[in-house]
Structure 1
Protein backbone atom coordinates (compact mmCIF):
# COMPACT_ATOMS: atom_id res chain seq x y z
CA UNK A 1 0.00 0.00 0.00
CA UNK A 2 1.31 3.46 -0.92
CA UNK A 3 1.76 6.00 1.87
CA UNK A 4 0.53 9.60 1.57
CA UNK A 5 1.02 12.76 3.60
CA UNK A 6 -1.55 15.53 3.13
CA UNK A 7 -0.56 19.15 3.84
CA UNK A 8 -3.21 21.87 3.82
CA UNK A 9 -4.19 24.53 6.34
CA UNK A 10 -7.90 23.81 5.72
CA UNK A 11 -9.10 20.75 7.65
CA UNK A 12 -12.01 20.23 5.23
CA UNK A 13 -9.57 20.05 2.30
CA UNK A 14 -7.40 17.51 4.12
CA UNK A 15 -10.51 15.44 4.83
CA UNK A 16 -11.60 15.52 1.16
CA UNK A 17 -8.16 14.55 -0.12
CA UNK A 18 -7.89 11.77 2.50
CA UNK A 19 -11.26 10.31 1.51
CA UNK A 20 -10.44 10.32 -2.20
CA UNK A 21 -6.89 9.00 -1.76
CA UNK A 22 -8.10 6.18 0.49
CA UNK A 23 -10.62 5.11 -2.16
CA UNK A 24 -7.73 4.98 -4.64
CA UNK A 25 -5.74 2.61 -2.43
CA UNK A 26 -3.48 5.01 -0.49
CA UNK A 27 -2.82 4.96 3.24
CA UNK A 28 -2.64 8.42 4.80
CA UNK A 29 0.30 8.28 7.23
CA UNK A 30 0.36 11.95 8.24
CA UNK A 31 -1.42 15.28 7.88
CA UNK A 32 -0.08 18.77 8.50
CA UNK A 33 -1.70 22.23 8.62
CA UNK A 34 1.44 24.11 7.51
CA UNK A 35 4.75 23.69 5.72
CA UNK A 36 6.92 23.65 8.84
CA UNK A 37 4.98 20.71 10.27
CA UNK A 38 5.12 19.02 6.85
CA UNK A 39 8.92 19.10 6.81
CA UNK A 40 9.07 17.60 10.31
CA UNK A 41 6.49 14.90 9.51
CA UNK A 42 8.17 13.97 6.23
CA UNK A 43 11.37 13.18 8.12
CA UNK A 44 9.36 11.04 10.53
CA UNK A 45 7.10 9.13 8.09
CA UNK A 46 8.93 9.12 4.70
CA UNK A 47 5.68 8.96 2.67
CA UNK A 48 5.64 7.80 -0.95
CA UNK A 49 3.85 11.03 -1.92
CA UNK A 50 2.97 14.39 -0.40
CA UNK A 51 0.11 16.65 -1.46
CA UNK A 52 1.24 20.16 -0.53
CA UNK A 53 -0.95 23.26 -0.48
CA UNK A 54 0.66 26.44 -1.79
CA UNK A 55 -0.72 29.06 0.62
CA UNK A 56 -0.38 28.22 4.31
CA UNK A 57 0.69 29.93 7.54
CA UNK A 58 4.17 29.58 9.07
CA UNK A 59 5.78 28.14 5.92
CA UNK A 60 4.23 28.23 2.45
CA UNK A 61 4.17 25.31 0.05
CA UNK A 62 7.11 26.42 -2.09
CA UNK A 63 9.38 26.82 0.95
CA UNK A 64 8.26 23.44 2.33
CA UNK A 65 8.86 21.81 -1.06
CA UNK A 66 12.40 23.18 -1.18
CA UNK A 67 13.11 22.04 2.40
CA UNK A 68 11.76 18.53 1.79
CA UNK A 69 13.58 18.11 -1.53
CA UNK A 70 16.88 19.37 -0.08
CA UNK A 71 16.82 16.57 2.51
CA UNK A 72 15.04 14.00 0.32
CA UNK A 73 15.81 14.64 -3.38
CA UNK A 74 13.65 11.71 -4.53
CA UNK A 75 10.53 12.89 -2.64
CA UNK A 76 7.33 12.85 -4.71
CA UNK A 77 5.61 16.15 -3.92
CA UNK A 78 2.40 17.17 -5.66
CA UNK A 79 1.41 20.81 -5.28
CA UNK A 80 -2.22 21.77 -4.63
CA UNK A 81 -3.16 25.25 -5.81
CA UNK A 82 -5.89 27.57 -6.95
CA UNK A 83 -5.85 28.38 -10.67
CA UNK A 84 -4.65 31.97 -10.16
CA UNK A 85 -1.26 30.79 -8.86
CA UNK A 86 0.20 29.53 -12.15
CA UNK A 87 3.48 31.44 -11.82
CA UNK A 88 4.05 29.93 -8.36
CA UNK A 89 3.26 26.50 -9.76
CA UNK A 90 5.99 26.96 -12.38
CA UNK A 91 8.42 27.76 -9.58
CA UNK A 92 7.33 24.60 -7.77
CA UNK A 93 7.86 22.40 -10.82
CA UNK A 94 11.32 23.95 -11.22
CA UNK A 95 11.98 23.23 -7.51
CA UNK A 96 11.11 19.55 -7.98
CA UNK A 97 7.34 19.09 -7.64
CA UNK A 98 6.27 16.06 -9.70
CA UNK A 99 2.78 17.34 -10.54
CA UNK A 100 0.03 19.68 -9.40
CA UNK A 101 -3.65 19.55 -8.53
CA UNK A 102 -5.80 22.62 -9.21
CA UNK A 103 -8.41 23.69 -6.64
CA UNK A 104 -11.28 23.31 -6.73
CA UNK A 105 -10.76 19.76 -7.95
CA UNK A 106 -13.23 17.26 -9.35
CA UNK A 107 -13.32 14.27 -6.94
CA UNK A 108 -13.40 11.72 -9.78
CA UNK A 109 -10.43 13.32 -11.53
CA UNK A 110 -8.50 13.43 -8.27
CA UNK A 111 -9.26 9.76 -7.62
CA UNK A 112 -8.01 8.89 -11.12
CA UNK A 113 -4.87 10.92 -10.42
CA UNK A 114 -4.19 8.96 -7.21
CA UNK A 115 -4.92 5.64 -8.92
CA UNK A 116 -2.50 6.47 -11.74
CA UNK A 117 0.28 7.43 -9.32
CA UNK A 118 -0.43 4.33 -7.22
CA UNK A 119 0.12 2.12 -10.29
CA UNK A 120 3.13 4.02 -11.61
CA UNK A 121 5.12 4.27 -8.37
Structure 2
Protein backbone atom coordinates (compact mmCIF):
# COMPACT_ATOMS: atom_id res chain seq x y z
CA UNK A 1 0.00 0.00 0.00
CA UNK A 2 1.38 3.40 -0.94
CA UNK A 3 2.29 5.51 2.08
CA UNK A 4 1.92 8.79 0.27
CA UNK A 5 3.89 11.96 -0.14
CA UNK A 6 4.99 14.70 2.26
CA UNK A 7 5.08 18.17 0.65
CA UNK A 8 7.47 20.70 2.20
CA UNK A 9 7.64 24.35 1.18
CA UNK A 10 7.59 27.59 3.17
CA UNK A 11 5.06 29.06 0.70
CA UNK A 12 1.50 27.77 1.29
CA UNK A 13 0.74 28.61 -2.35
CA UNK A 14 3.53 26.30 -3.58
CA UNK A 15 2.40 23.47 -1.30
CA UNK A 16 -1.12 23.85 -2.64
CA UNK A 17 0.06 23.79 -6.26
CA UNK A 18 2.23 20.70 -5.72
CA UNK A 19 -0.56 18.90 -3.84
CA UNK A 20 -2.98 19.75 -6.63
CA UNK A 21 -0.68 18.31 -9.32
CA UNK A 22 -0.04 15.16 -7.27
CA UNK A 23 -3.66 14.41 -6.36
CA UNK A 24 -4.87 15.07 -9.93
CA UNK A 25 -2.35 12.45 -11.07
CA UNK A 26 -3.38 9.79 -8.59
CA UNK A 27 -0.79 10.34 -5.86
CA UNK A 28 -1.76 10.66 -2.21
CA UNK A 29 -0.46 13.59 -0.16
CA UNK A 30 -0.26 12.52 3.50
CA UNK A 31 1.13 15.70 4.99
CA UNK A 32 2.78 19.04 4.51
CA UNK A 33 5.27 21.22 6.34
CA UNK A 34 6.38 24.85 6.03
CA UNK A 35 10.03 24.39 7.06
CA UNK A 36 12.73 21.77 7.36
CA UNK A 37 12.31 21.28 11.12
CA UNK A 38 8.59 20.52 10.70
CA UNK A 39 9.44 18.29 7.72
CA UNK A 40 11.70 16.13 9.90
CA UNK A 41 9.02 15.90 12.63
CA UNK A 42 6.36 15.02 10.04
CA UNK A 43 8.66 12.47 8.44
CA UNK A 44 9.06 10.70 11.81
CA UNK A 45 5.31 10.78 12.39
CA UNK A 46 3.98 9.97 8.90
CA UNK A 47 6.75 7.77 7.44
CA UNK A 48 5.90 8.92 3.89
CA UNK A 49 7.01 7.03 0.81
CA UNK A 50 8.37 10.24 -0.72
CA UNK A 51 9.19 13.81 0.33
CA UNK A 52 9.06 16.78 -2.05
CA UNK A 53 11.15 19.45 -0.34
CA UNK A 54 11.92 23.08 -1.06
CA UNK A 55 15.58 24.06 -0.61
CA UNK A 56 15.24 27.59 0.77
CA UNK A 57 13.13 27.70 3.95
CA UNK A 58 13.24 29.34 7.40
CA UNK A 59 14.34 27.53 10.60
CA UNK A 60 15.97 24.60 8.77
CA UNK A 61 16.65 24.63 5.04
CA UNK A 62 15.94 21.74 2.71
CA UNK A 63 19.54 20.54 2.57
CA UNK A 64 19.80 20.25 6.37
CA UNK A 65 16.37 18.57 6.44
CA UNK A 66 17.50 16.02 3.81
CA UNK A 67 20.48 15.15 6.02
CA UNK A 68 18.24 14.77 9.08
CA UNK A 69 15.70 12.61 7.22
CA UNK A 70 18.52 10.45 5.83
CA UNK A 71 19.73 9.88 9.42
CA UNK A 72 16.23 8.61 10.26
CA UNK A 73 15.97 6.52 7.11
CA UNK A 74 18.98 6.06 4.81
CA UNK A 75 16.58 4.83 2.09
CA UNK A 76 14.30 7.89 2.24
CA UNK A 77 13.17 9.12 -1.17
CA UNK A 78 13.39 12.90 -1.50
CA UNK A 79 12.85 15.20 -4.46
CA UNK A 80 14.12 18.77 -4.06
CA UNK A 81 12.37 21.89 -5.36
CA UNK A 82 14.56 24.82 -6.23
CA UNK A 83 14.27 28.17 -7.89
CA UNK A 84 16.32 28.92 -10.98
CA UNK A 85 19.92 29.73 -10.16
CA UNK A 86 20.28 27.40 -7.16
CA UNK A 87 22.46 24.84 -8.97
CA UNK A 88 25.08 24.71 -6.22
CA UNK A 89 22.40 24.03 -3.62
CA UNK A 90 20.77 21.39 -5.84
CA UNK A 91 24.13 19.61 -6.16
CA UNK A 92 24.59 19.78 -2.40
CA UNK A 93 21.08 18.36 -1.89
CA UNK A 94 21.77 15.49 -4.31
CA UNK A 95 25.04 14.77 -2.47
CA UNK A 96 23.07 14.78 0.80
CA UNK A 97 20.81 12.10 -0.64
CA UNK A 98 18.02 13.69 -2.68
CA UNK A 99 16.98 11.50 -5.62
CA UNK A 100 15.87 14.19 -8.09
CA UNK A 101 14.97 17.85 -8.30
CA UNK A 102 12.27 20.04 -9.80
CA UNK A 103 12.96 23.63 -10.84
CA UNK A 104 10.43 26.35 -9.99
CA UNK A 105 8.31 27.54 -11.60
CA UNK A 106 7.65 23.88 -12.27
CA UNK A 107 5.69 22.18 -15.03
CA UNK A 108 3.05 19.72 -13.82
CA UNK A 109 4.33 16.99 -16.13
CA UNK A 110 7.88 17.41 -14.76
CA UNK A 111 6.57 16.94 -11.20
CA UNK A 112 4.69 13.78 -12.21
CA UNK A 113 7.71 12.49 -14.15
CA UNK A 114 10.07 13.01 -11.18
CA UNK A 115 7.67 11.42 -8.68
CA UNK A 116 6.98 8.45 -10.95
CA UNK A 117 10.69 7.93 -11.57
CA UNK A 118 11.68 8.12 -7.90
CA UNK A 119 8.83 5.87 -6.75
CA UNK A 120 9.70 3.47 -9.57
Structure 2, unaligned runs of 5 or more: none
Match of 1:89 in 2: 90
- Using structure 1 for the length normalisation, give the TM-score: 0.92
Work out the CA distance in 1 between the residues paired with 2:88 and 2:57.
Answer: 17
Match of 1:112 in 2: 113
Work out the CA distance in 1 between the residues paired with 2:49 and 2:97.
Answer: 15
- Give the RMSD, CA atoms, in angstroms: 1.3
Match of 1:54 in 2: 55
SS at structure 2 position matched to 1:88: helix
Structure 1, unaligned runs of 5 or more: none
Work out the CA distance in 2 between the residues paired with 1:19 and 1:115.
Answer: 16
SS at structure 2 position matched to 1:26: coil
Work out the CA distance in 2 between the residues paired with 1:53 and 1:106.
Answer: 15
The answer (yes or no) to whether the contact 2:3–2:47 under 8 Å persists in 1 is no
The answer (yes or no) to whether the contact 1:25–1:115 under 8 Å persists in 2 is no
